Amino acid sequence: MTTLMIFMFVAAFTPGPNNLLSSYSGFNFGIKKTLPLIYGVTFGFPILLIVINFGLIVFFKKFPALQEVIKVLGSCFILYFAYKIAQGKKSEEKKIENPTKFINMLFFQFVNPKAVLFAIVIVSTFIDPNINFVRDTIVVLSVAISFSFVSIFSWCLLGKFLRKFATNEKFIQTFNYVMSFLLIVCVIMFYL
């Protein structure tokens, strides 16, 4: 249990597409408008774990190319997010825009290379398919939901906190460029 919690902490809190998008959204839209994103990740990642746990891992083992396809699709999607963030409009206009929706973030987990990779590792390491399968699955899902929510909410709070220092458009644009750049770095890291 301790090993699972340490692993989930590292997986959930390290910078990745979900966390960077949450920080960006908290910075630009505030906590209330970022809640759909937070809930999309909080429930999307455990759903991804369930899908992998109940069969997708078999396909990944038989067809490793499927994992590569998901990795490439997810990378393209993240690069698109990075582009949209970098090309963001002025803050007055952003307040009118609607940030990422719950359903978008829920489905994004299935093409997010970091989420898919960690889900495969978690399922293959912490869930024994022969002994205590149900118990292991429940424990892993409970820990995943808890860590996903706390992590994504913390990154949103970080973005909201940084917003207090945003006194001009140049700072806001610089923050958006940094978030965009970090998403691109995430994609590069997937291939190293």
- What DSSP line would sit under 7-23, residue for residue? HHHHHHHS--HHHHHHH
Tell me what pLDDT residue 55 has: 80
pTM of the model: 0.79
Tell me what pLDDT residue 118 has: 86
Tell me what pLDDT residue 147 has: 94
Tell me what pLDDT residue 94 has: 46
Tell me what pLDDT residue 128 has: 80
Tell me what pLDDT residue 139 has: 94
Tell me what pLDDT residue 35 has: 94
- DSSP result, 150-184: HHHHHHHHHHHHHHTT--SHHHHHHHHHHHHHHHH
Tokens at residue 165, please? 């220092």
Tell me what pLDDT residue 88 has: 67
Tell me what pLDDT residue 93 has: 46
Tell me what pLDDT residue 100 has: 80
- Please check whether residue 79 is in contact with residue 184, taking contact to mean a CB–CB distance below 8 angstroms: yes
Tell me what pLDDT residue 45 has: 94
Q: What is the mean pLDDT of each run of 10 residues along the chain (192 residues)?
A: 86 87 90 94 94 78 77 81 74 55 92 86 81 89 95 94 80 82 81 76
